């Protein structure tokens, strides 16, 4: 939300903070995360480009009214306690007497964090990675707006929303991911590869094995 309600993230985020997109990368594949964020490598394929195009359309839009709600795009959020920061695809604001006050509109709203995905994951592991990303977004939005946001995915292939309810186990899983990221950063190391069903569609597969073994980027 490009207003005083979403404070400038850079003024609050420490150098050790983790970008929300890193959470999804690490949960999907720690080795892939390492290649991108430690080894400074990046490759794109059809799957990546499809998601990229979808997010460009969503993020590039302006705030809009839809079915009695306001949808804000590219909302900057953070949470110092969790050491997280990032940008929401969209935040839906529904007018309500007991919701969070938004000075931009001088009204109170209940809020829903919306993460857009081109298609619904077929793998439970991929779905877990997306859940961790959405949880990190919700934790940050809850902090910035001092409320308890709902959260959902919007899948482009079926053009439907899927609401997500998080449990304590999800929060513990996210904490574990953040601790693992902190350890890898401190050691400047890339986690070793783990062969899985996700490898065939990974954009990094052609450079995965040459950097296997968790070597630091100083040795590349």
Would you give the end-to-end CA distance of the chain in angstroms? 40
Higher-pLDDT residue of 136 and 104 is 136
- Identify the residue with better confidence: 40 or 38: 38
- pTM (predicted TM-score): 0.81
- Indicate the average pLDDT of the chain: 81
Q: Using the predicted structure, report yes or no on whether residue 127 has a pLDDT greater than 60.
A: yes
pLDDT grade for 214, boundaries at 50, 70 and 90: very low
Which CA distances in Å does 136 have to 103, 128, 132, 143?
Answer: 24, 12, 6, 11
């Amino acid at each position: 939300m490009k207003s005083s309600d979403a404070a400038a993230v850079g003024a609050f985020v420490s150098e050790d903070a983790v970008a929300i997109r890193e959470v999804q990368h690490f949960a999907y594949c720690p080795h892939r995360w390492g290649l991108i964020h430690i080894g400074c490598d990046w490759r794109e394929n059809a799957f990546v480009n499809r998601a990229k195009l979808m997010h460009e359309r969503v993020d590039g839009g302006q705030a809009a009214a839809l079915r009695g709600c306001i949808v804000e795009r590219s909302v900057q959020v953070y949470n110092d306690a969790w050491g997280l920061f990032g940008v929401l695809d969209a935040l839906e604001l529904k007018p309500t007497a007991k919701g969070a006050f938004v000075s931009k509109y001088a009204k109170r709203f209940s809020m829903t964090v919306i993460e857009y995905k081109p298609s619904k994951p077929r793998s439970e592991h991929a779905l877990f990675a997306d859940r961790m990303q959405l949880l990190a977004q919700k934790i940050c939005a809850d902090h910035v707006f001092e409320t308890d946001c709902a959260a959902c995915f919007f899948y482009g292939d079926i053009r439907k929303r899927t609401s997500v309810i998080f449990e304590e186990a999800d929060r513990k899983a996210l904490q574990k991911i953040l601790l693992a990221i902190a350890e890898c950063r401190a050691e400047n190391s890339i986690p070793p590869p783990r062969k899985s069903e996700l490898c065939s569609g990974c954009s990094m597969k052609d450079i995965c094995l040459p950097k296997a073994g968790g070597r630091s980027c100083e040795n590349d």
